[in-house]
Amino acid sequence: MTTTGRPQLPPPRLRVPGAPSPLQGLRVIDFSHFIAGPMCTLFLADMGADVIKIENAANGDDFRRFQPHLGGEGVPFLWVNRNKKGVALDLTNEAAQKIATELAASADILVENFSRGVMERFGLGYDAMHKLNPRLIYCSVSAYGRDGAMADRLGFDPVIQAETGFMSMNGFSDQPGVRTGPAIMDISTGMTAAIAVLGALTARQNTGLGQRVETALFDTAALMLGFHAMNYLATGRNPTRAGNRSADSTPTGTFQTADGPLYVTCANDRTFRRLVTNVLERPDLAEDPRFVSNRDRMAHRDELTAIIEGILAGHSSERWAAKMQAAGVPAGVVRTIEDAFSSFEMAERALASSIPHPTAGDIPNMGSPLRFSETPVLDPIAAPTLGQHTTEVLEHVLGYGPERIAELRTAGAFGSSG
Q: How many domains does the chain have?
A: 2
Q: Which of 322, 344, 366 is the last residue of a domain?
A: 344
Q: How far is CA 296 from the centre of its chain?
A: 39
Q: Which of 344, 369, 398 is the last residue of a domain?
A: 344
Q: What is the pLDDT of residue 52?
A: 99
Q: What is the pLDDT of residue 416?
A: 77
Q: What is the pLDDT of residue 57?
A: 97
* 89, burial (CB in 10 Å: exposed 0-12, middle 13-18, buried 19+): buried
Which segments in the chain show pLDDT lower than 50?
Answer: none
Pairing of strands 352-357, 84-89: unpaired
Residue 213 lies in a domain: yes
- CATH code of the domain covering residue 135: 3.40.50.10540
45 and 156: one domain? yes
186 in catalytic set = yes
102 and 59: one domain? yes
263 and 403: one domain? no
Give me the domain span that covers residue 387: 27-227+354-410
Q: Which of 310, 344, 378 is the last residue of a domain?
A: 344
- CATH code of the domain covering residue 285: 3.30.1540.10
131 and 175: one domain? yes
Q: What is the pLDDT of residue 47?
A: 99
116 and 138: one domain? yes
271 and 204: one domain? no
Indicate which residue of 90, 157, 186, 219 is catalytic.
186
Residue 417 lies in a domain: no
335 and 280: one domain? yes
Nearest CA to 248 out of 288, 311, 287, 298 is that of: 298
269 and 404: one domain? no
185 and 218: one domain? yes
What is the distance between the alpha carbons of residues 334 and 340, in angstroms, rounded to a whole number? 9
Q: What is the pLDDT of residue 3?
A: 62
| Cis, bond preceding 68 (omega within 30 deg of 0) | yes
What is the distance between the alpha carbons of residues 50 and 269, in angstroms, rounded to a whole number? 50
164 and 74: one domain? yes
